[in-house]
């Protein structure tokens, strides 16, 4: 009995081989990577020299939410992450817009 591998299976095997090479730090031609930078809410707040209460009030973030983020009980979602990045870059403008 002659066993042949389907083109789809070969494509999957090629992809797995590329993933293995990438995991080992080897270059993979044509590989595109997306790097996601996580924002640390506590670092943002501390960079502005604000207490949790002050930060919460200034930027309209519920205090419990801020505490949960800072203590690792909740993860910052993509929308909140974008907001925190904007706060870090434009704190005065965002406070004025509240």
The secondary element (H helix, E strand) that includes residue 23 is helix 7-23
Give this prediction's pTM: 0.65
pLDDT in tens, 31-77: 888 877 789 999 999 999 999 999 999 999 999 999 999 999 999 99
Give the rounded distance of the alpha carbon of 36 from its chain centre. Answer: 4
Architecture (CATH level 2) of domain 41-97: Orthogonal Bundle (1.10)
| pLDDT bracket for residue 87 (50, 70, 90) | very high
Write the DSSP string, 35-98: --PPP-HHHHHHHTT--HHHHHHHHT--HHHHHHHHTTSS---HHHHHHHHHHHH-HHHHHHH-
């Amino acid at each position: 009995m002659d066993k042949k591998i389907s083109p789809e299976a070969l494509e999957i095997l090629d992809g797995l081989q590329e993933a293995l090479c990438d995991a080992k730090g080897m270059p993979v031609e044509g590989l595109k990577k997306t790097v996601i930078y996580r924002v640390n809410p506590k670092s943002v707040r501390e960079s502005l020299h604000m207490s949790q209460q002050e930060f919460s009030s200034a930027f309209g973030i519920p205090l419990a939410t801020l505490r949960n983020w800072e203590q690792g009980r909740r993860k910052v979602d993509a929308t909140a992450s974008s907001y925190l990045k904007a706060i870090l870059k434009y704190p005065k403008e965002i406070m004025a817009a509240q």
